[in-house]
Structure formats: structure tokens, C-alpha cells
Structure 1
């Protein structure tokens, strides 16, 4: 794969109705994007209306939601022509990394490209270089899928530009991405509140780690006190989701993007992740052999038991 020289953030506005509409029929009616050059840090913009094949008047709901009127689409080019201009504007599919805030934009691109006979290999070049940044942000910072506006507010930023304009949605997604990359400490501080503490984190790094250590110990105690040696397999299946939820909330501590977490807390976070993987493997192994009961070996719980008595 060629070296990445630029980032492309893109967003679609689509046909919509408050009466319900199948996603396949929600044709793109506007494409907005920004291009960020990695070397020069220069930003350029793309914004085009798209004339859909469905020529019925836009619903009032769609007009309000997208800010687009029928007159905006009357003289617009169709998807194939707009996409050709988009490719020319990009200037090199293989040197670009593509992002959007939600996978629905990639899905829209694929569906409308197929409808307009755009070569599959062209879309594949984009898809193989595509990142759903909303999903990354959910896993690493926000815990839940949130809007672009809410993502900005986590960093104390306001939405810049015209609302309902996909070009500005793309631009503000770029701003969140830059904050995520360039402010790892801020990102991990937000993550702690969203995933672990549920209250404002202390500012002092030492106090953060002390509080984190106590939370790790508390959760380890909660798990070990609830588990027993033998379960019916259907009961183990019910436990998978809550144990996964409890364990994976420490994944970002283990990754330690910001470097603010102590080695001990990173090690303890790894214990949770390892425990969940062992628990899942044990369930899958018993399930594959049609076992009615599951035996949890002592070695699985030992790391968590040691964590309970550990002081950071």
C-alpha cells in the first residue's frame, strides 16, 4: 500500500422521510469533504449538491433536517459526475486515508456507486483505506456513539461553519481527529470519566493513578466474589456480556496512549483483559464439546485475587 500523504474526511446528506425510508433508497443529495495534507498541513474543501434519480419533491422533514431545498438539486449533476469531480479533487486514491463520522457514509458511497456503474475496484481502493472514526472515538474516548457537536464539546470546542452542510461536518470531524491525536492526555482524561470514574477526574496524575488503583481493586473484588467454580453453561453465557463490559472498560488504560498511567495500573488492567479472554475461551471450549457445565480453573482468578491486595 502506498504511503499516506493526505487525509480525506467526507460526509453525505441523503434523501430522508419521517414516514420511514429504506436505506437503499436514501440517495445521496450532497457530498462534502475536506482534504488535509500531512506535509504542509494545508486544508482544501469539496462541496457539491447531487441530483438523485428519485425526482419526487423533498419532504419538509428532509428539507429541515438537511437544509437542502428542491431548487438546490434542480441543476445539480448526478452522482456519477459529482463522484468523478470528487476523485479529481482527491488527486490520488492510493495516497489517501479516508474517514467519516459513521459507517453509513461508506455504505452510501458503495450503494450509489453500484447504482451508477462506478468500477468496483475504485470503491475498493477507498474502502481498504477507510476508517470509521466515530467507532474509534467511541472505543477510545466517548464510550457511546455521539454527534460531531458533542465530540467537539468534550475538548471544549464549538462547531465551526454552517450546520447541515456536510463539508463543515467533515471539517469538524477533522478537528476532533486532530484533538484526539494531538491531545492524548486530554483524551485519556475524558476517557476516564466516560468509562471508569463517572465523575470528573483529579487533575494530579498521582491522584488519578491512586483513584484508578482503587477502582481496579474494587472491580476485581466484585468479579471474584461473584464467580464460583462450576456453572451450567447457559449461566456462563449470561455472564459473558457483563464480564466483557467490566473488563474491557480498562482496555484504554492498558493501551496507555497518554503515558499517564503507572506500570502497575497498566499491568492490572491487562489482568482484566486476560481474565475475560480466558473466560471466553473456557466457555467456547466447553460449548464446542456440548458440555452442560463449565469448570473455571483457579489459575484464571489468581491474577485478580492478587490485584485486590496490590497497592500502587
Structure 2
């Protein structure tokens, strides 16, 4: 089985989004094999379709520029590349994220573009599992969890590939402890 440790960034604004919709603007993922080893990574920007202009708030939060998304392909093309990299039709896999948001956003963007969502059922939310494993009262944010484990948070917070790489550190450290099935 391959474990796909992933994170997303999406369009964002102060307050409610225009047209009530956030769209994925970056996918970052680390593929971990059955031995708990990181094998490869996937990182792509995504050009939003409904609200193609990034807000100043979003650019500041994510450090993703308008040029980054303007030069990118729209979601259906990037999702196809991601699914190929995951190996959706080739071998068993599980998508792993920190919280429910990332899976929900993949479903929402897939439905927006009338794409299959069946493969997204193979998902594991690491955040509550980590809280339980560590006997914590509350579910910590990713940055706090990384520090609790004695790791340095590397890369840029709120960049998909950086968040995925940091999440992979926690996943790999406790690889044999997770009940994924």
C-alpha cells in the first residue's frame, strides 16, 4: 500500500469567498511506501476557474503569486496528473491529511468539474489519530504537532508541499502506530 501524505492550498479571502466557493490552487504530496519510507513527491499549482484572481490576503497567507497560478493548468488536468502519480488504478493507496478540510476540498473541486470522487473514499485523517496517540486534550495544529515531536518546521507554512513534508515527518515517525485499514 502507498500512503499519500497530502496538503492543499485554496483561494481565500478575509470573510466569505465571492460566489461562496474556494478552489484549490496548490497540491503537495509525499508518497510513503509500506516500509514507512518517503519515495517521491508531487507538487503543482492549480489555476482557479471560478475566481481566477487571487486576493491580496491569499497571496500573503500562502506566498503563492498570481503568476504561479496563471502559468498553471486548471484543476481537471492537475487532478489527472495527481491521480497518475498516486497510482489510483495500479495499487492500493490511502490519502492522508491533517484534518478533514483537504479531502473535502478535493471532493468539492472534483464535483465542480464533474469528476469522479469515488477514489477519494480512501482517506485517513491523521489529526484526531495523533491526538489519541499522544493522549492530548485537543487536536493541535500541524505546526504545533511538528514542534511537539521535536522536529523543526521546514519550508513555508501554508504552502502545500511544505505542509505535506512536515506532516510526513510525523506520519513516518509513528508509522507502525497508525490504524489505517
What band does the TM-score fall into relative to the shorter chain? Answer: 0.7 to 0.9
How is 1:68-147 mapped onto 2 (pairs within 5 angstroms)?
Answer: 68-93=64-89, 94-119=91-116, 123-127=117-121, 129-141=122-134, 142-147=136-141
**1:17-76 alpha-carbon deviations (Å, 9 max, x no partner):** 113227950111111111012248242111111011134532211111111111111121
Where does residue 149 of structure 1 map in the other structure?
Answer: 143
> 164, 170, 173: which is aligned to 1:179?
173
CA distance in 2, matches of 1:171, 1:144: 23
Distance 1:24 1:114, change over 3 A: farther
Aligned Cα root-mean-square deviation (Å) = 2.2
How is 1:232-311 mapped onto 2 (pairs within 5 angstroms)?
Answer: none
**1:154-203 alpha-carbon deviations (Å, 9 max, x no partner):** 1111112333321121121111122234689xxxxxxxxxxxxxxxxxxx
Distance 1:133 1:40, change over 3 A: closer
Q: Report whether the alignment pairs 1:43 with 2:45.
A: no
CA distance in 2, matches of 1:80, 1:30: 13
Distance 1:135 1:183, change over 3 A: closer
Unmatched tracts of structure 2, length 5 or more: none
**Where is the helix percentage greater, Structure 1 or Structure 2?**
1
CA distance in 1, matches of 2:20, 2:76: 17
Once the two structures are TM-superposed, the CA of residue 145 in structure 1 deviates from its matched residue by: 2.2
Contact kept in structure 1, 2:4 and 2:93, CA below 8 Å: yes
Distance 1:103 1:23, change over 3 A: farther
Contact kept in structure 2, 1:51 and 1:79, CA below 8 Å: yes
Contact kept in structure 1, 2:154 and 2:166, CA below 8 Å: yes
CA distance in 2, matches of 1:105, 1:97: 14
> 50, 54, 66: which is aligned to 2:50?
54
Where does residue 15 of structure 1 map in the other structure?
Answer: 11
Where does residue 2 of structure 2 map in the other structure?
Answer: 6
**Where is the strand percentage greater, Structure 1 or Structure 2?**
2
User: TM-score if structure 2 supplies the norm length?
Assistant: 0.87
Distance 1:175 1:55, change over 3 A: same
Contact kept in structure 1, 2:36 and 2:172, CA below 8 Å: no
Distance 1:176 1:74, change over 3 A: same
**Greater RCO, CA 8 A, separation 6+:** 2
